[in-house]
A and B are shown apart, each in its own frame.
Chain A
Amino acid sequence: MQLARSTLSTAKQSNAWNKFQKLSFSVATLPSLPYGYKDLEPYISGEIMEIHHSKHHNAYITNLNAAMKNLQKAEAESDLSTIIKLQVAIKFNGGGHLNHSIFWKNLAPTSSGGGVLNEGVLKEKIESKFGSLEKLKDELSASSVAIQGSGWGWLAYDKVNKNLSIATTSNQDPLEATTGLVPLLGIDVWEHAYYLQYKNVRPSYTKEIFNVVNWKDVQERLIAAMKS
């Protein structure tokens, strides 16, 4: 970018540069958690939260930024082969960034209302689609447990059917980009999300996590999805 700037001299080129700058990807940064690392205990340990946020999510962001920087360079050089080669890293790390950014907001300490689903459009839709909140929890847990290897379980909004749905993605595939469904609530079932506390007992983790689900956030996402 510096090199491009120094070679720009005419006003015409300067406009092009401004346009280009607006189009370029702004560097991703690690969002801060809306609560402390230990605040989701005893359902998710402080140790897990700290490593998950400050190491894993951070690594996705670092690698995403590196990939996007390489992408800009490849685009500037019209290097199609490299552009294509970078897609895997962008999907993986970008997906990891998107997914975890949603996840931190999907959770809240019990002291801030985590685990409590109040009356509202979300509760109505859950009850009409699944029968009850408990049935939704069972279904979403079961889907998340059944994922082989690494991935995410999702409560999603289907804009086509205008209804809630349960979905899963593998690895760090972002839900909306790969399926069109709008993510409302994600359950991370990568082993790093629960192993230090729950070891191989994934079903316990997917059951206990509901104690700290921030249903207010889930409802906000639903309302936004229904509007769009």
Chain B
Amino acid sequence: IILKLSKSDIALKQKMNRVVLLLGFFLHMATAQHLPVPPIPYGYGDLEPYIDTETMKVHHLGHHASYTHQLNQALQSMRDDPATKHLAKMGIDELLHHLKEVPEQYIHTIRNAGGGYINHDLWWKSLSPWGGIEPGDSSITIQERRFSAAVEKNFDSFDNFKKLFEKAAASVFVSGWTFLFYDKKEKAMEITNMTGHDTPAHDPQKVPLLLLDMWEHAYYLKYKNHRSDYVAAFWKIVDWTEVSTRYAYASEEVEPEPIPSYEQREKQRVGMIPVDTSAEAMKEL
């Protein structure tokens, strides 16, 4: 006896098939870990006149997006490969600690595109329209005060640190980055240059605090070959609150306070927030 399905049964079956397909799709997407292009925490035009809108757009939507896409493709291949599945499941930060285990057909892409993905994410977050206010004894947050003291301890003075950082950046002749990082083992800050999209964070003991993109695409549209002008402009937009917060977490020297609100930061930028020279702030040191 052949059971003939009625029309309504068939419709129900079709509906159920669709539901199953949709569920499967969402399940796949949820577990697929396709990394999005990390967003910039401000508008493309917000770093003018130091970094031009066009550079921001091409840099983010062209270069950063391309690294993200390449990384996703490599991760997908690694996920499908039973030998490398466990590596693909690590976050990209963790994967960069395990580069030695990545097989030859993926290593180039993971290192370049993965590094590019991470470095640019850190880069956007290291800059701010409210940046450029150097940390010191009278900074609003405790982490900035501590960071300022730490910079003085490691480099004699904040100005000297900037000079050394600039010198390092000036000596990057090929595509690369200049980093300030914290070495958890040495309990010290260091400046170093990396070529390509390498990062000191390949070593889990090293935590990047600040970085400067010296690839030509980072500055060429506006600054052309005038690299020192670009580096000078960079100082005007560095988000020292963010950098100091990274330092606080890396050094575990102090629990960082929340980053001030947009309102507070805007007031600070236009000079409306009084600088805290009270005993309270000085007592920290």
On whether the beta carbons of A92 and B195 are closer than 8 Å, the reply is no
- Least CB separation from A89: chain B residue: B173
Instruction: Give the distance to chain B from A50, nearest Cβ to Cβ, in Å.
Output: 10
Chain B residues contacting A192 (CB-CB under 8 Å) are 216, 220, 224-225
Chain B residues contacting A171 (CB-CB under 8 Å) are 173-174
On whether the beta carbons of A92 and B217 are closer than 8 Å, the reply is no
B188-217 near A? 1/0 per residue, CB < 8 Å: 000000011000000000000000000111
A129 interface residue per 8 A CB criterion: no
B221 interface residue per 8 A CB criterion: yes
Check A148/B217 contact, CB under 8 A, given A51-B225, A59-B225, A200-B63: no
5 contacts between A and B (CB under 8 A): A55-B224, A192-B225, A195-B221, A196-B221, A196-B224
- B196's partner among A56, A149, A199, A200 (CB-CB below 8 A) is A149
| Distance, CA A26 to CA B195, complexed state (A) | 32
A150 interface residue per 8 A CB criterion: yes
A190 interface residue per 8 A CB criterion: yes
Chain B residues contacting A200 (CB-CB under 8 Å) are 58, 62-63, 66, 217
On whether the beta carbons of B220 and A196 are closer than 8 Å, the reply is yes
Instruction: Give the distance to chain B from A133, nearest Cβ to Cβ, in Å.
Output: 29
On whether the beta carbons of B217 and A195 are closer than 8 Å, the reply is yes
B112 interface residue per 8 A CB criterion: yes
Which A150-174 residues have a C-beta within 8 angstroms of B?
A: 150, 170-171
Instruction: Give the distance to chain B from A32, nearest Cβ to Cβ, in Å.
Output: 19
B154 interface residue per 8 A CB criterion: no
- Of B174, B195, B196, B217, which is in contact with the most chain A CB atoms at under 10 Å from its CB? B174
- B215's partner among A55, A56, A149 (CB-CB below 8 A) is A149
Which B221-248 residues have a C-beta within 8 angstroms of A?
A: 221, 224-225
B17 interface residue per 8 A CB criterion: no
- B174's partner among A56, A150, A195 (CB-CB below 8 A) is A150
Instruction: Give the distance to chain A from B170, nearest Cβ to Cβ, in Å.
Output: 12
| Distance, CA A51 to CA B223, complexed state (A) | 11
B160 interface residue per 8 A CB criterion: no
On whether the beta carbons of B220 and A195 are closer than 8 Å, the reply is yes
On whether the beta carbons of A148 and B196 are closer than 8 Å, the reply is yes
Which residues of A pack against B, CB within 8 Å?
Answer: 51, 55-56, 59, 92, 148-150, 170-171, 190-192, 195-196, 199-201
- B175's partner among A59, A92, A150, A196 (CB-CB below 8 A) is A150
Chain B residues contacting A148 (CB-CB under 8 Å) are 108, 112, 175, 196
- Least CB separation from A56: chain B residue: B225
A-B interface, 10 closest residue pairs, ranked by CB to CB distance from nearest: A149-B175, A191-B216, A200-B62, A55-B225, A171-B174, A195-B220, A150-B175, A199-B58, A191-B217, A148-B112
- Of A51, A150, A171, which is in contact with the most chain B CB atoms at under 10 Å from its CB? A150
| Distance, CA A55 to CA B227, complexed state (A) | 12
Chain A residues contacting B175 (CB-CB under 8 Å) are 148-150, 191
| Distance, CA A170 to CA B224, complexed state (A) | 21
| Distance, CA A92 to CA B174, complexed state (A) | 10
| Distance, CA A59 to CA B66, complexed state (A) | 31
Check A191/B220 contact, CB under 8 A, given A55-B225, A150-B175, A200-B63: yes
Instruction: Give the distance to chain B from A54, nearest Cβ to Cβ, in Å.
Output: 10
- Least CB separation from B218: chain A residue: A191
| Distance, CA A7 to CA B53, complexed state (A) | 62
- Least CB separation from A96: chain B residue: B173
Instruction: Give the distance to chain B from A179, nearest Cβ to Cβ, in Å.
Output: 18
On whether the beta carbons of B215 and A51 are closer than 8 Å, the reply is no
| Distance, CA A200 to CA B69, complexed state (A) | 15
- Least CB separation from A63: chain B residue: B173
Which B67-121 residues have a C-beta within 8 angstroms of A?
A: 108, 112
Instruction: Give the distance to chain A from B230, nearest Cβ to Cβ, in Å.
Output: 13
Instruction: Give the distance to chain A from B285, nearest Cβ to Cβ, in Å.
Output: 42
| Distance, CA A149 to CA B196, complexed state (A) | 6
- Least CB separation from A93: chain B residue: B173
| Distance, CA A203 to CA B212, complexed state (A) | 26
Instruction: Give the distance to chain B from A149, nearest Cβ to Cβ, in Å.
Output: 4
Given contacts A55-B224, A148-B112, 16 further A-B contacts (CB under 8 A): A51-B225, A59-B225, A92-B173, A148-B196, A149-B196, A190-B216, A191-B220, A192-B216, A192-B220, A192-B224, A192-B225, A195-B220, A199-B58, A199-B221, A200-B58, A200-B63
Which B24-61 residues have a C-beta within 8 angstroms of A?
A: 58
Chain A residues contacting B225 (CB-CB under 8 Å) are 51, 55-56, 59, 192
